Amino acid sequence: MINLNIKYKELIEKLDDLTLIKPDIAIILGSGLGDFAKSLNIKNSISTSTLSNYPASTIPGHEGKIISGEYSGKNILLFQGRIHFYEGYKLNECVLPVFISKKLGAEKILLTNAAGGINPNFHPGDLMLTTSFNGISIKKELLEVTGLPSAESKNNLIDLPSKEINQIIRKSADKEKIKIVEGVYWYTKGPSYETPAEIQMIKNFGGDAVGMSTVHEALFASFLGLQTGSISCITNYAAGISNKKLDHSEVTETANLVKDKFERLVKRVINLI
Ligand code: HPA
């Protein structure tokens, strides 16, 4: 079993110097949502390629930067880009941003992502508040590879996502007059998009949106005791919901179209947190 404290000791020490102040919230930015960093007062920024042991970012739209910034009097630890399982990394590498957040003292984390819409009421460009995650396919594996003591890993997941953070997201959307839909985010391992039959199955089991990230981060954050919230940008209709062929450029293009709305929402969340 991997001991993350040992594996990432040097990296955490370097990042401790970067942030200095305890973050009020950590935020992981999903595909095409990285521009949000520009709206913060950036105090310090580091390219993850300069950190020993940090998995290289291989996906367009994931910059690979860790930023310490400020907005509305709050200290923010921002991950511009994330690490995906389908890039070939191990789950203990994929959850590194969450581990770093915990080590640098964050008690809250907001996960954001691009996702395919399954719920017939969802359309590309909608923002979705996650009401629950489905990570049944990875839970055991996640616990095995991250070496969490069993007491932590048996924490119950009833407050995932955090009710308090979800209320703040709802209130923020309301104040900004942004329509936000709500639903269950379902994880698939990728790397390819799903087949229509897979989407039909997820739909039958209550999934509203599908994506290839976030759930391992959310579970791990919760195991570490972080209050966790998640916002998805619905970038496309999931396979078979529309017959359009899917590709990553559609995902980043739609994310780009909603970035102002997304930015307003997340800024308000920071303000109210
Ligand atoms: N499926 C999986 N992941 C995704 C999708 C999708 O349709 N859209 C954005 N990320």
CB-CB contact of 238 with 212 (8 Å)? no
117 C-beta closer than 6 A to ligand 1: no
Residue identifier of the C-alpha nearest atom 10 of ligand 1 = 115
* Distance between Cα 48 and ligand 1 center (Å): 25
Element (H, E) at 227: strand 227-237
Residue 53 in any domain: the answer is yes
pLDDT category, 1, cuts 50, 70, 90? low
List beta partners, residue 186.
134, 210
Element (H, E) at 130: strand 127-134
What per-residue confidence (pLDDT) applies to 252?
A: 85
What per-residue confidence (pLDDT) applies to 247?
A: 83
DSSP letter for each residue of 91-132: HHHHTHHHHHHHHTT--EEEEEEEEEE-STT--TT-EEEEEE
pTM confidence score: 0.94
What per-residue confidence (pLDDT) applies to 62?
A: 62
Residue 88 in any domain: the answer is yes
Q: Provide the pairing of β-strand 25-29 with 41-47.
A: unpaired
* Distance between Cα 213 and ligand 1 center (Å): 9
Q: Residue 165 belongs to what domain range?
A: 4-268
Radius of gyration for the chain, computed over Cα atoms and rounded to the nearest angstrom = 17
Residue identifier of the C-alpha nearest atom 7 of ligand 1 = 116
* Distance between Cα 249 and ligand 1 center (Å): 11
With CA atoms as reference, report the closest residue to 235 among 204, 193, 268: 193
- 40: tokens are 């913060």
What per-residue confidence (pLDDT) applies to 78?
A: 95
Residue identifier of the C-alpha nearest atom 5 of ligand 1 = 116
pLDDT category, 143, cuts 50, 70, 90? confident
33 C-beta closer than 6 A to ligand 1: no
Neighbours of 179 (CB within 10 A): 9
What per-residue confidence (pLDDT) applies to 248?
A: 83
Residue 11 in any domain: the answer is yes
pLDDT digits (tens, 9 = 90+) for 157-189: 788 999 999 999 999 999 999 999 999 999 998
* Distance between Cα 7 and ligand 1 center (Å): 31
With CA atoms as reference, report the closest residue to 111 among 146, 68, 155, 77: 77
Residue 110 in any domain: the answer is yes
What per-residue confidence (pLDDT) applies to 154?
A: 62
Chain-wide mean pLDDT for the chain?
A: 90
Residue 52 in any domain: the answer is yes
Rounded average pLDDT over 21-46: 88
CB-based burial of residue 272 (10 Å sphere; 0-12 exposed, 13-18 middle, 19+ buried)? middle
Residue 159 in any domain: the answer is yes
pLDDT category, 199, cuts 50, 70, 90? very high
pLDDT: which is higher, 241 or 152: 241
With CA atoms as reference, report the closest residue to 235 among 61, 27, 91: 61
- CATH label of the domain that carries residue 97: 3.40.50.1580
CB-CB contact of 241 with 164 (8 Å)? no
Residue 273 in any domain: the answer is no
What per-residue confidence (pLDDT) applies to 250?
A: 84
Instruction: Report how far residue 213's alpha carbon sits from residue 82's, in angstroms, rounded to the nearest whole number.
Output: 9
pLDDT higher than threshold 70 for residue 148:
no
Residue identifier of the C-alpha nearest atom 3 of ligand 1 = 211
Q: Provide the pairing of β-strand 180-187 with 74-80.
A: unpaired
Instruction: Report how far residue 230's alpha carbon sits from residue 196's, in angstroms, rounded to the nearest whole number.
Output: 25
- Overall size of the chain counted in residues: 273
Atom of ligand 1 nearest to the CA of 213: 3
Q: Provide the pairing of β-strand 108-117 with 227-237.
A: parallel
Residue 125 in any domain: the answer is yes
Atom of ligand 1 nearest to the CA of 188: 2
Element (H, E) at 223: helix 215-223
* Distance between Cα 8 and ligand 1 center (Å): 30
Q: How many domains does the chain have?
A: 1
